Amino acid sequence: MNLSDAKTHAMGALFDTNYFAQLITYTPHGGEAISEVPANITYGEPRGDNFRGDGYTWRLTVQRDPRADFKRGLVRSLAMVSVRASDIPTPGYRDSVEFDGATWTVTEVQDA
């Protein structure tokens, strides 16, 4: 197995819903929804891991109820969502992501 084959195999496992991934619905701001997109979701604040684009995946910071942090006593809910660039070619700010029964808003996109 060469490096290219190894990357393809790793991406297949990473986005396999039988292992790590779960299905999301992605809706571009003002656009049509894209259903059943496999994604990896990590809840909470980003850990400062110096993400570098690999050319295969986008990493999106999403927030549930973006105005919640302006209300007294509520803390905003954040998650990091990784999707294949082949599934979502041009993600953008204010796009919507649905998973776990809630709608989340894209607040940051890190390049593929």
DSSP 6-26: HHHHHHHHHT-TTTT-EEEEE
Range 46-73 average pLDDT: 68
Range 75-100 average pLDDT: 89
Binned at pLDDT 50, 70 and 90, residue 73 comes out as low
How many separate helices (H) and strands (E) can be counted in the chain?
1, 6
C-beta separation of 26 from 97 below 8 A: yes
Residue that has been written with the tokens 């259903």 in this structure? 35
**Cα–Cα distance, 104 to 49 (Å, whole number):** 22
How remote is the C-alpha of 25 from its chain's centroid? 10
| pLDDT higher than 90, residue 32 | yes
The residue count of the chain comes to 112
- Given this model, what pLDDT does residue 48 score? 61
Average pLDDT for the chain? 82
Higher pLDDT, 106 or 53: 106
**Residue % of the chain over a pLDDT of 90:** 42
**Cα–Cα distance, 78 to 90 (Å, whole number):** 21
- Given this model, what pLDDT does residue 34 score? 94
Work out the number of other CB atoms within 10 angstroms of the CB of residue 57: 23
